[in-house]
Structure 1
């Protein structure tokens, strides 16, 4: 008996069917059967299904004699299901890698609930991907009922974002009715009847958004079907007195759903819209629970269609007036800001005021943070103020950190008077550089991938970037901090502006230079990592050849398993991927289950590096910082050609690597299984890499910036390191750690 019976109704999807089936049959979890129901498809789908069944015994095909529609095609497949759980997968959607393993593990963990609800992401024909905006509702460890967590009913009421225990479905006699909105009378009764519901906060399915839309986006009278489907839901509730308390909720849901259909211009022919409204209003009155309070947005159903139309027109007019007012207000505000700034720009600069920002105003981070802390110690008379994007970012600051919100009146006051500006990205274009002000640009690490003007011949990589505007903003730089001569040459070419390179080293790396085992142990304790384990840090870079930037080159669950006992895998995604679908594709779930540690949100990346024994990365600038620790680095560069073509690389990292290079997962796994990752050749490569790329990192970078640029002291620039022996070496902290001299 398989764990999953995946029922796939098929009709006119020959362009998507193979991708759908491959996403199922290619899963690492193989305890499944596929019941493909050919709903009398007139295209090449029947032949495609038969070919898959001929080469994979897990696939069975039912060829229906007539087209019966999506719901009844699912019904046709259910009697043939032998699995513990039913999974209804639409034939133009796909499973994400590792989805079935994650579902199976969650089912085991929760003791086989009646229903398991999981997350999904919409994928668009133009290449975009957007995660379900209500994904946070799935972040629960509990097993519950709908009454205990009614917010679960706010999720999209579809059948394909859940798996259902077959015994529960058969006991309750659930089936799909015919019609457009067949998911509605399935999903509500199932969730209201389930005694045990579990959730999985993981993207297990890609919901394809076709360019021409789904069947529900077509213009047709068949949208009147929604009324009968909700009538079925009410009949179900009426037959079960224990569910009577759900009537007010379902009454409101029905009104919201029907008004949503009516609001879409592509759903109903214009001649049918008044009739649809009247039918909706009739049902709304018929099923209104006694004494129920009607939400304000649904009271329109108590009036006429003419009143609904007038309200819609008024709403559109109001939104248009608001839009115009905002445009006028923005222009007026800009003029007012210029008027207010004019007198201020004639007032003297404040020599004791410095303004800081990092990572697009995300908080006290990176190089600016290191300079800020050094200034507080060495130049306490200089007041430091941070610019943050919003109050949410401000909430994460230390209590004694002075800050202003971007574009606020306080922001304008400090930026009009400050003498020192320290940032690792460009300041907003509206900020005026005053004569006598000192702008220090720290960058965000040593460049491996093209930046600035070098992106002009890489149209994919500069999508959404205005390079000339970027350079105009860079014209405000006075000083560019560099950690090595490679960076110095690159920045002067990529940003052809009038600045002076300061061979200061990277201030944020001061804590790494000379760090010993005690710093590693302290970082592990703070991050909750096992002291005796070998900690492997995996930090992949964003890819420019894929919209959204996410390309999964390594299965982290498999890598963690292959590393074996005594090893802890820590994953840190590029910050630009932190809020997208990347973590929902399994990382969050693996972290919750203790398979690995997700350190993406850890604000101090230096602590993450200090806590680890070895770095696995590809093209992330993190590898240049990590080299200061003199700990092993493995470069996993299995798509270097694609990266070089799409983004551009300043040198071949595989030819000048800081350690061993893998070009396939098999090679990567072997490096760790054999212990080669930490052999003498790895140490030799690392030493040469450090000599070239860490040459100005001597542990005094932040001090040098403050003394030189803020205090005007004649502090010499960092001298190139004479080699590894000229540094204080650090040691790894895990049980597989090598002496620093190895």
Structure 2
């Protein structure tokens, strides 16, 4: 008896069917059966299914004599299922890698001999043009906890998309209650509500298991047809189910509200109903709502208590309100522009500095280090941070800030003398004569940047290089930590700035690190005392839409590291809010397999807390080298990466440590202890001599004294690791 019976109804999807089946049969978890139901598809789907069944005994094909529709095709497959759990997968969607393994592991950790009745998991919409967007209500899964519950205990579970394919169902539970799919357009509705309401044990998996394909032509529900009237019959079936079970009667108001919202959403879509049918659809919706509401009407549904004429009037009023808001917004823009012009005619304030980092994400990176030094060495210079509104609660106490595009923002940026940033300021910010723009960059460059991207069209997708250079024209000073960076920035940004060999201010804390500096961070992350902490920090990929590629099986790597090790993972910051963490990282963190530190604001704290860095091509390696701790480069796609993005030197030939190209090599390097051997130390020493040249622990002080206070006698940094590197290389 397999663990999962995956039922796949098939109709006119010959262009997508192979990808769907491959995503299932190629799963690392093999205990499954596929019941593919050919719903009398007129294209080549039947032959494709038969070919797969001939190659893989786990595939069984049912050829229906006539087309019966999606719901009844699923019904046809259910009697043939022998698995513990039923999984209904649409034939144009796909399973994500490792999805079934994650589902099986989640089921195994739940108590009880039978497992939950329903296990709900996450999905991501994948668009025909290459974009990916995670379920916007993913937080419901994250907040549901590790145990099981009923819908009454967590009613927010009903807020999730009411579809059949984001859940697996215990087969005994389905058979006991006799759940079946009705015919019609909205056949998922009278399945999902009853199964969730009838389930005694619901569990969740906070992981993206299904890639929900968004076709360019849309789904069948996006066609204009009277078939959308089917939604009323389907909700009548839901109410009939509740009526047959008195213990569920309290759900009637909630379900009535769901019905009203769903129907109004269909009515509001311009491509669902013929214009001549909209009044009838509204009337039937209102009748159904009055029949079943059983309680007070929410404000958003009060429109159903009036007629269609009132509904149209409300819609028109909302449209007028939207236009009024747009007019007000345009007026505000003119006001801000005028406000900025007024202050732009006032003298610069020689005691005002404005800071920003990572597109206004907070007090971070090099600008934060410069700000700290300025508060100590130049307290007469008032420092103001530009911070996004959503990041204000996380600001340190006592930090003065302005929100982007606010009136105070325009006032401060019009008067400030000093501007410190690690990314470009917006194009709307004009550089005034006498102002000093200090650009810190975000690290030593390995991959192509700036004008060098003109020869890499894939890497500069969505990036306006000429505009980037116009913004860089405002730089007065470019900070560098090594001669390599100095040469690259001169080439990548052909502008009129002056390079300053200050070192990287953010690295001062690393250069000055003492034993035990990372202990507090380890404790906060829940890392046991005495563990060897492996920090894995991959970078994004330009050759993949969205930038995320799983280069390492994290669960396997954590297991291979063995007892006494903790794996800490930090994805590239640009991936923190996308679907990348939902592909398994968040679930592995919940289970304690690893620590997901992607949203930790201060990466230097993670570096201090770790014993070794594993990365691919992240600029973090150049900063980490200041700690003089082992670094491992996992370069399994170096050729692809350099072909798409470009690199200023061959990292695999001039690496800061050992280079691995397969998971087996990586696991063996840690198993045998090679990650911290003498060869590793020699490679790291040479790397530090080249790339930590000007980092001496006084970079922030040097920036403040020379560029803000105008002092001339501060000595240039001495390349501290160079002599040690020569000695070590000579002896190896």
Q: What's the TM-score bracket when you normalise by the shorter of the two chains?
A: over 0.9
What is residue 98 of structure 1 aligned with on the other side? 98
**Corresponding residue for residue 667 of structure 2:** 669
Residues 464 and 327 of structure 1: is their aligned pair in 2 closer, same or farther, counting only changes over 3 Å? Answer: farther
Q: Deviations over 1:17-69 (max 9, x none)?
A: 11111111111222221111111122221222222222222222222222111
Residue number in structure 2 paired with 1:434: 432
Distance change (3 Å), C-alpha of 1:673 and 1:342: closer
Distance in 2, matches of 1:722 and 1:640, equals: 28
CA displacement at 1:154 relative to structure 2: 0.9
Match of 2:88 in 1: 88
Alpha-carbon distance in 1 for matches of 2:462, 2:259:
41
Q: Mean Cα displacement is larger for which, 600-609 or 58-67?
A: 58-67
Distance 2:181 2:94 in 1: 22
> Hey, what does 1:732 align to over in structure 2?
none
Retained in 1: the 8 A contact 2:548–2:575? yes
The separation in 2 between residues aligned to 1:397 and 1:328, in whole angstroms, is 31
Shift of 1:486: 0.6
Pairs within 5 Å for 1:6-85: 6-85=6-85
Tell me the distance in 2 between the aligned counterparts of 1:210 and 1:511.
Answer: 50
TM-score between both structures, scaled by the size of structure 1: 0.94
Structure 1 partner of 2:214 = 209
**Residues of 2 paired with 1:105 and 1:569: CA distance?**
19
Corresponding residue number in structure 1 for 2:241: 236
Helix, strand or coil at the partner of 1:319: helix
Q: Secondary structure at the match of 1:352?
A: strand
Name structure 2 gaps, 5 residues minimum. Answer: none
Deviation at 1:81, TM superposition (A): 1.4
**Do the aligned partners of 2:682 and 2:725 also contact (CA within 8 Å) in 1?**
no
Where 2:107 maps in the other structure, the secondary structure is helix
1:139-161 Cα distance to aligned partner (Å, 9 max, x none): 12142111111111111100111
1:92-116 CA-to-partner distances (Å, cap 9, x unmatched) read: 1111111112112222222311111
Structure 1 distance, partners of 2:414, 2:375, is: 22
Cα deviation 1:111-130 (Å, max 9, x = unaligned): 31111111110000000000
Structure 1: segments with no counterpart, 5+ residues:
730-740
CA distance in 1 between partners of 2:525 and 2:250 (Å): 46
Alpha-carbon deviations, 1:268-326, whole Å to 9, x = none?
A: 2233223222222222233232xx21223323323333333333233333323433442
Does residue 116 of the first structure (1) align with residue 119 of the second (2)?
A: yes
> Take 2:727 and 2:307, find their aligned partners in 1: how far apart are those partners?
81
Whether 1:371 aligns to 2:381 is no
CA distance in 1 between counterparts of 2:73 and 2:541 reads 40
Whole-Å Cα distance in 2 between the matches of residues 288 and 417 of structure 1?
A: 59
**Stretch moving more, 629-638 or 232-241:** 629-638
Deviations 1:212-232 (A, max 9, x none): 111111122211111111111
Moved more, 646-655 or 153-162: 646-655
Q: Distance in 1 between matches of 2:661 and 2:447?
A: 19
Q: How is 1:349-388 mapped onto 2 (pairs within 5 angstroms)?
A: 349-388=348-387
Secondary structure of 1:65's counterpart equals: coil
Q: Out of 574-583 and 471-480, give the one that drifted further.
A: 471-480
Aligned partners of 1:481 and 1:504 also within 8 Å: yes
Other-structure match for 1:612:
610
TM-score when normalising by structure 2: 0.95
SS in 2 for 1:511: helix
Structure 1 residue 247: deviation in Å? 1.0
Q: Tell me the distance in 2 between the aligned counterparts of 1:163 and 1:728.
A: 62
Select which of 185, 192, 200 maps to 1:180: 185
Alignment of 1:570-581 (within 5 A): 570-581=568-579
C-alpha contact (below 8 Å) 1:513/1:728 kept by paired residues: no
Q: Secondary structure at the match of 1:33?
A: strand
Whether the 8 Å CA contact 1:514–1:727 is kept in 2: the answer is no
| Residue in 2 that maps onto 1:167 | 172
1:648 is aligned to 646
Q: Distance in 2 between matches of 1:621 and 1:438?
A: 27
Q: Distance in 2 between matches of 1:372 and 1:82?
A: 65
SS of 2:345 mapped into structure 1: helix
User: Per the alignment, in what secondary structure is the counterpart of residue 512 of structure 1?
Assistant: helix
Q: 1:499-530 deviations in whole A, cap 9, x for unaligned?
A: 11111111111121253432244442343322
Contact 2:162 2:192 in 1 (8 A): yes
Query: Could you give the per-residue CA deviations for residues 145-200 of structure 1, whole angstroms, max 9, x where no partner exists?
Result: 11111111111100111111111111111111111111000011111111111111
User: SS state of the match for residue 313, structure 1?
Assistant: helix
Q: CA RMSD for the aligned pairs?
A: 2.0
In structure 1, what is the equivalent of residue 715 of structure 2? 716
How far apart are the structure 1 equivalents of 2:131 and 2:723? 46
Change (3 A) 1:702 1:96: same
Identify if the C-alpha distance between structure 1 residues 523 and 299 changes in structure 2 by more than 3 Å, giving closer, same or farther.
closer
Structure 2 CA distance for aligned equivalents of residues 57 and 191 of structure 1: 33
Decide whether the 8 Å contact of 1:261 with 1:267 is kept in 2.
Answer: yes
Larger CA deviation: 273-282 vs 334-343: 334-343
Please report how far the alpha carbon of residue 721 of structure 1 lies from its aligned counterpart in structure 2 after TM superposition.
4.1
Cα pair 1:721 1:727 within 8 Å, conserved: no
Change (3 A) 1:663 1:442: same
